[in-house]
Amino acid sequence: MLTRRRLLTLLPAAGLLLTAGCGFRLRGAQSAKLPYQSLHIALPETADVRIWLERYINATGNTELTDNPLEAEAIFQQVADQRSKTILSVNAQGRVREYRLQLIYSFRVITPEGKVLVAPNEVNLTRDIAFDDSNVLAKDLEESLLWRDMTSDLVNQVMRRLAIIKPKVTKEEDED
C-alpha cells in the first residue's frame, strides 16, 4: 500500500500528465506570432504601449520592427487612448472609499498606402481600487502599479488580437 508521502509526491506528476495529455500548454510569446513580415508602430518612442509592444514583438522574433512607415508591410496606429479615474463609492462622511480606473484603447493596422488591414478594435479595461486618507502615498503607488498592470494586460490583448485577426485581402489581390 502506498504511504502518504509517496502519494503526495505522485499527485503533482499525475496532474502534469493529465494536462499534457489534453493538449494544454502555457500561453507565451510563441502564441502571438504576427502575420506581418515588418511592422511600424506609429506612436512616440516614449509611449508605454509602444515600449511594451516592441518587447512582445521582439520576443516573438518573426516580425521586424521598422522606423520608416514606407518600408513596413503594416503600420500599427493608435486611434484612441482614454484613461479615467472616477469615484465608485463614498463613506458616511462623504469621503472617497473606492475609485474605478478605466482604460479604453482603440487601434487599427493599415498599409503604407492607407488600406485598412485590421479595422479599429477597442480594448476596455477596468480596475477598482480602495482608497484610504491615512495612506495616500501607498494608495498612489498602488494606483500607479494598477495602471502599469492595465497597460501590460492591454498589450497582451492587442498582441492576441493582431495574431488572430488575419489581414483583409481585397478581390483585386486575390486575382493576382
Q: What's the CATH code of the domain at 49?
A: 3.30.160.150
Q: Assess if residue 4 is contained within a domain.
A: no
Query: Does residue 174 fall inside a structural domain?
Result: no
Ranges of the chain with pLDDT below 70: 1-2, 6-8, 10-11, 13-32, 167-176
| Number of compact structural domains in the chain | 1
Question: Rounded CA gap, 90 and 113, in Å?
Answer: 51
What pLDDT does 86 receive?
A: 96
* pTM, two decimal places: 0.74
Residue 76 domain flag: yes
Please check whether residue 92 lies inside any domain of the structure: yes
Residue 82 lies inside a defined structural domain of this protein:
yes
Whether 72 is covered by a domain: the verdict is yes
Supply the pLDDT for residue 29. Answer: 44
Position 9 in a domain: no
Q: Measuring CA to CA, how many Å separate 4 from each of 11, 12, 16, 18?
A: 11, 14, 19, 21
Distance CA 61, CA 48 (A): 20
In the sheet that holds 64-65, the strands lie side by side as 64-65, 38-42, 74-90, 96-110, 116-130
In a domain, 151, yes or no: yes
In this structure, how many other beta carbons lie within 10 angstroms of the beta carbon of residue 16?
11
pLDDT at 169: 56
SS3 at position 169 = coil
Structural domain of 131: 28-167
End-to-end CA distance of the chain: 70
